[in-house]
Structure 1
Amino acid sequence: MIKSILCAAALVATFTTGALAGNSQGGKVTLVYDHPLPNVPGKSVRGVLVEYAPGGTSPAHTHAKSAFIYATVLEGAIRSKVNDGPVKTYRAGGNWSEFPGDHHAVSENASATEPARLLAVFVVDTAEKELTTFERQ
């Protein structure tokens, strides 16, 4: 089922362009999929496409308290640091998970010359309106 959800979200990501949060220091965030889980009342799956221009970055952030996230790099390379873990570089096809309450300290394009894209699939309380809270810099 998860594989089907990810495939559907990836297809929607290819053809949808509705802005969720606009641009942030070189990052464009677009909600590309939003569907309640029929067998898990109160939960939804949301797909978020994050596109980074060369050198683009996002401020440190956390996600909705109910959010479990599976992120996969679609294009280019992304540097990521979650909680106290090391900064890791993920290339196209690479992926990671974030658990409720995790702190995403680094999220940025690893290249100063090429764009990068990732798809983040959230399993989240349907009532959640804010998926991401950025830290003040």
Structure 2
Amino acid sequence: MKRILYSLLVATLPFGSVLADDTKFKNAMVTLVYEHELPNAPGKSLRAVLVEYGPGGGSPSHRHPSSAFIYARVLEGTIRSKVNDAPERNYQAGESWIEQPGDHHQISQNASTTAPAKLLAIFVVDTSDREIVIPDK
């Protein structure tokens, strides 16, 4: 089952796998839903990624490209998140946060072990940055 999920995730990630170590990525699917180069900011693009966590699902501790500014909004369920030295926090559907370039996203998990959770992450990133999630080594 793990290999099937891994294959599905890689197939939906045209900008490089977020799964450098697939043992850390659990019960999750990431899908690029929008991409557009910004006409008033040469070299920058807007990318929107739908992150779906099944019950108990989550992603490994990670960073994004140093060019990336991110706005994340919870669409369904509750997401447990910790960025940099800020305290761990649960975000409910309708709540959002931002990540500045260079931030370290230490925790990103579904807070529930029984219900799914979804978030939309909108990136403003250098167009040349194809790998948008970089797991910690």
Aligned residues: 119
- Percent identity, aligned pairs only, is 60
Q: Contact between 1:72 and 1:93, CA under 8 Å: does it hold in 2?
A: yes
What's the CA shift for 1:57? 1.1
What's the CA shift for 1:27? 1.3
- 2:134 counterpart of 1:121: no
> What's the counterpart of residue 56 of structure 2?
55
> What's the counterpart of residue 66 of structure 1?
67
What code does the residue aligned with 1:26 have? N
In structure 2, the CA distance between the partners of 1:91 and 1:73, relative to structure 1 (3 Å rule), is same
TM-score, reference length from structure 2: 0.83
> What's the counterpart of residue 109 of structure 1?
110
* Distance in 1 between residues matched to 2:99 and 2:31, nearest whole Å: 19
Q: Contact between 2:18 and 2:135, CA under 8 Å: does it hold in 1?
A: no
1:69-84 matched pairs, under 5 angstroms: 69-84=70-85
* Distance in 2 between residues matched to 1:120 and 1:48, nearest whole Å: 5
RMSD, aligned α-carbons: 1.3
> What's the counterpart of residue 12 of structure 2?
19
TM-score, reference length from structure 1: 0.83
What's the CA shift for 1:115? 0.1
Q: Contact between 1:22 and 1:30, CA under 8 Å: does it hold in 2?
A: no
* Distance in 1 between residues matched to 2:36 and 2:50, nearest whole Å: 15
* Structure 1 residues not aligned, in runs of 5+: 1-17
What code does the residue aligned with 1:63 have? H
